[in-house]
Amino acid sequence: MATQGKITTILFDCDNTLVQSEPIGFEVSAEIVNEILALHGIDNTKFTGPQLQREFVGMTFQATMNAIQAKYGLTLDLSLDELDRYAAMEETRVVAKLLGPGQPLLPCVGVNAVLKELSSRGGLYRLAVVSGSGPSRIAASLAAAGQAEFFAEGDIFSAVNMASKPNPAVYKHALKSLGVDAKNCVAIEDSKSGVLAARGAGLLTLGYTGAYELEERPALEKVLVEAGCMTVMSDWAEFLGFLDGL
């Protein structure tokens, strides 16, 4: 990474960084994965949402399906068109659940206050979202969590239709589209694949564990630091002090 400059741009992952959406998303992912396996006559292997979240967090649905086949020795021979179709199905179902009755989507604790403070600083910082989720899921998540007002439409980037995190493609695309240098940015991520993607694009990266259960946080913090995070926070109340310290 190049020498760090003045921070002008803050790049937020979405799921379990801005919004507490991963459990819902992976519940749907597991349903579809199990449907696919059943269609291919594989009845002795099933996945749960928490299992997929532990093993494949931060990846697109297409990348998750490829990783499942590689890790568990499954041969499904899914074409790119089929993977895209299943990914679109997953996104549609997730959005329906996120916006459905009785399913309130909560922002990560304290993050909306941070977004409000950053936005009040007279244009000092540009805020963007860089996520592995699909565009409609990101939009639905931000709207439901009361965050849409903080991000311009052109400052929201999805890894769908490009290489999934941990590949840095989506971050490199975001930097190019925003017209900013990596040395003037900081990224916030909650997963190993996300941190590797951000670091691969040359970004100073901050880890976040606050969306996870207390007993899970120490192990996740270790993973995030080993992946390249400068530091890890468990509460968004820590962020402004970190940013001002730069």
pLDDT value of residue 127? 98
- Please provide the CATH number assigned to the domain covering 9-21+106-245: 3.40.50.1000
Please state, in angstroms and rounded to a whole number, the distance separating the CA atoms of residues 143 and 203: 27
Q: What pLDDT, on a 0 to 100 scale, did the predictor assign at position 22?
A: 80
Query: What is residue 3's predicted lDDT score, i.e. its pLDDT?
Result: 63
Is residue 21 classed as helix, strand or coil in its secondary structure?
Answer: coil
Question: Can you give the pLDDT at residue 1?
Answer: 46
d(CA 122, CA 119): 7
Residue 217 to residue 211: CA distance in whole angstroms = 9
pLDDT (tens, 9 = 90+) of the chain, 246 residues, equals 456 789 999 999 999 999 998 888 889 999 999 999 999 999 888 999 999 988 888 788 999 999 999 999 999 989 999 999 999 999 899 888 877 776 667 899 999 999 999 999 988 999 999 999 999 999 989 998 999 999 998 999 999 889 989 999 999 999 999 999 999 999 999 999 999 999 999 999 999 999 999 999 999 999 999 999 999 999 999 999 999 888
Give the contacts of 155 (CB within 8 A, at least 6 positions apart): 126, 127, 128, 129, 178
Beta bridge partners of 233: 208
Q: Which two tokens stand for residue 145?
A: 């969590």
- Enter the pTM of the model: 0.84
CA-CA distance, 109 to 195, in Å (whole number)?
A: 21
Distance CA 214, CA 199 (A): 26
